[in-house]
Amino acid sequence: MKIVVTRERGTNEQLKSWLPPGSDVVEVPLTKTHFDAPDEVGQRITESGRTPFGSLVVTSERTKNYLPIAQPFLASNVGVFSVGSSTTRALEASGLTVRAQSLGSALDLDRQIDAGPVLMLGAVAMREELPTALRRRGLDVVHVSCYETRGVDLSEDDENELRDADVVIIGAPSAWRKARPFITPTTLVIVPGASTAAVVKQEHHTVVEGWGPRLAELLK
**Considering the entire predicted model, what is its pTM?**
0.75
3-state SS string for the chain: CEEEECCCCCCCHHHHHCCCCCCEEEECCCEEEEECCHHHHHHHHHHHCCCCEEEEEECCHHHHHHHHHHHHHEEEEEEEEEECHHHHHHHHHCCCCEEEEECCCHHHHHHHCCCCCEEEEEECCCCCHHHHHHHHCCCCEEEEEEEEEEECCCCHHHHHHHHHCCEEECCCHHHHHHHHHHCCCCCEEEECCHHHHHHHCCCCCCEEECCCCCHHHHCC
Q: How many residues does the chain have?
A: 220
| Predicted local distance difference test score (pLDDT) of residue 49 | 86
All residues at 6 or more sequence positions from 19 whose CB lies less than 8 Å from its CB, including other chains: 3, 25, 215, 216, 219
Q: What is the pLDDT along the chain (220 residues), one digit of tens a residue?
A: 899 999 888 878 888 888 888 889 999 999 888 999 999 999 999 999 888 999 999 988 889 999 999 999 999 999 999 887 778 888 988 889 888 788 667 777 778 788 889 999 988 877 788 888 889 888 899 999 999 888 899 999 999 999 999 999 998 888 999 999 999 999 999 998 777 888 899 999 899 888 777 787 788 7
All domains in the chain, ordered by first residue: 2-30+154-218 (3.40.50.10090), 34-149 (3.40.50.10090)
| Predicted local distance difference test score (pLDDT) of residue 104 | 66
